[in-house]
Amino acid sequence: MTTAYEQLCERFARLANVNGAAAVLHWDAATVMPTGGAGARAEQLATLSLVAHEMLCHPEIADLLAWAESQAAALGRWETANLREMRAKWSHATALSGDLVEALSRSGSACEMVWRAARADDDFTALAPSLTEVVNLVRQAATAKGEAFGCLPYDALLAQYEPGLAAADIDRHFDALASFLPSLLGRVLEYQPVPPAAPERMSAAKQEAISRRLLDTLGFDFEHGRLDVSLHPFTGGVADDVRLTTRYDEADPLGSLYPALHEGGHGMYERGLPSEWRLQPVGGAMGMAMHESQSLLVEMQVSRGDAFLHYLSPLLRELGGVSGPAWEVKGLSTRVRHVARSMIRVEADEVTYPLHIIHRYRLERAILGGDLAVTDLPGAWREGMKSLLGVDVPSDRDGCMQDIHWMDGAFGYFPTYTLGAMVAAQLYRAAEAALPNLSDDLSHGDFTHLMTWLGEKVHSQGRLYASADKLLSAATGAPLDDAIFRRHLEKRYLGD
């Protein structure tokens, strides 16, 4: 006779496969699905969401959880953590009705399709009704979860992406950033050199070849993953079938190579998760801030540093056919570390990026709290960009419609980007201390030791720890420290 815990493992493995199928369908919708398939795909994903929800909310799950928890003393460390994660998933699921889950999935898929056309036409009016529907449903879900967990509705949404995190934590970290970033930005703009012009174009085919070489350099396994093109770069699929995407612009090759590196960091994390727990909750990533830390550690901490540029520069000449000062190490360093006030989040530098996130965080709190109507979002967006970044936004395409997250109902996700950047700085500092030859390794395109260290400290740990802060403390010896990120920015951009 199997134990209650073993029965739970069987059920959660089946649930993981259902969710994995949905993940691949999401990837397909964003990359190769014909536009005419949007309606059918929305229904497919809504059905899978409902099936997953019903599996998780089956009456027997509650009994099995209670039974397994009564026998928890017999479980090992990983099994105990897995049972904790099972309980958390069940609690989130049972807080919502099946009808609401299905409606959220259907409205998110439909809104995403509307967004693609509305963004291309710079027509927020066409998007507003669909986005309003998504917001209303997210509010219902946030309220229901807040009541179930005894917390603020927004905190309940955060818990979906970052367990143990509350708005009060974000406010503390973001207030610390806001206290020094504006003055730092002004000093950097005065201090930094002018980057050399780079008039040479590069074909999409050459950019793809370089992107694939860089992913090979990271150690990404193309037998368990692939690289494709999408409007918004992302990582999807499942741990044994990781789907990376980027986008190509022949006038801006670095604008595709760095997203590929970013997504490669996500992909390496997914592939490095503990294989023996692959279909169990404890085998997943430790929240989205930690996931973002892995992509930003690769894209920002490593790939914009001079050591890596000594490897990248000859690679660009070899595979990209470019030459001249703009493509040498000195020219590349001033280009990839150039700081500027900009409209587009995904193109922002390390110094201004947190301001983009603080802006979105404030807006989504206002939208969900009912203080800002969806129809007033374009104006509020322009005001915030002007006050925080000193940027005028001429179009909604490059304003409130530039990101996909809200269209799919992902409220509470944005803060994890900047928290991830802070975690990345802290992890990289620890890696440098542990790997004295790291700079030399990276200058030769050797990521072996770095990825081994990250694998041991982060990837292989899955969700063994109860929160990202506990995992970070185990990996670096301290919880998230705002001062480390500040020191990183000052050293890199001011030479202090």
Per-residue pLDDT tens digits for 224-260 = 999 999 988 899 999 999 999 999 999 999 988 999 9
Query: Quick one: the chain helix, strand, coil %, rounded to 5?
Result: 70, 5, 25
pLDDT at 204 over 70: yes
Position 198 pLDDT exceeds 90: no
- 71, two tokens: 């026998």
For residue 128, what are its two tokens? 């507003």
The amino acid sitting at 351 is V
Residue 346 has pLDDT above 90, yes or no: no
- Choosing from 263, 270, 292, 350, the catalytic residue is 263
Q: Are 300 and 421 in contact (CB under 8 A)?
A: yes
pLDDT tens for each residue of 380-420: 999 999 999 999 999 999 999 999 999 999 999 999 999 99
Q: What is the pLDDT of residues 185-195, one digit of tens each?
A: 999 999 999 88
pLDDT bracket for residue 1 (50, 70, 90): low
Tokens of 402: 């530039």
Q: Please name each of the domains of the chain with its CATH number.
A: 4-162 (no CATH), 169-494 (1.10.1370.30)
DSSP code per residue over 343-399: S-GGG--TTTHHHHHHHHHHHHHHHHTTSS-GGGHHHHHHHHHHHHH------STTT
Between vectors from CA 360 to CA 358 and to CA 364, what angle results, nearest 5°? 120
Interaxial angle between packed helices 204-218 and 306-320, expressed in degrees from 0 to 180 and rounded to the nearest 10: 140
Per-residue pLDDT of 278-336, as tens digits, reads: 999 999 999 999 999 999 999 999 999 999 999 999 999 999 999 999 999 999 999 99
Give CA–CA dist 476/457, Å, rounded: 9
Q: Residues near 483 by Cβ (< 8 Å), separated by ≥ 6?
A: none
Quote the percentage of the chain above a pLDDT of 70: 100
* Alpha carbons 52 and 14: distance in angstroms, whole number: 9
> What is the sign, positive or negative, of the torsion defined by CA atoms of 43, 48, 49, 51?
positive
Measured CA angle at 74 (ends 277, 287), to 5 deg: 35
With beta carbons less than 8 A apart as the criterion, state whether 361 and 405 touch. Answer: no
CB 325 within 8 A of CB 193: no
Q: Going by C-beta distance under 8 Å and a sequence separation of 6 or more, which residues neighbour residue 338?
A: 192, 195, 349
282 within 8 A of 465, measured Cβ to Cβ: no
Distance CA 79, CA 6 (A): 10
pLDDT at 199 over 80: no
Catalytic residue flag (residue 263)? yes
Range list of H helices, 150-238: 153-161, 167-191, 204-218
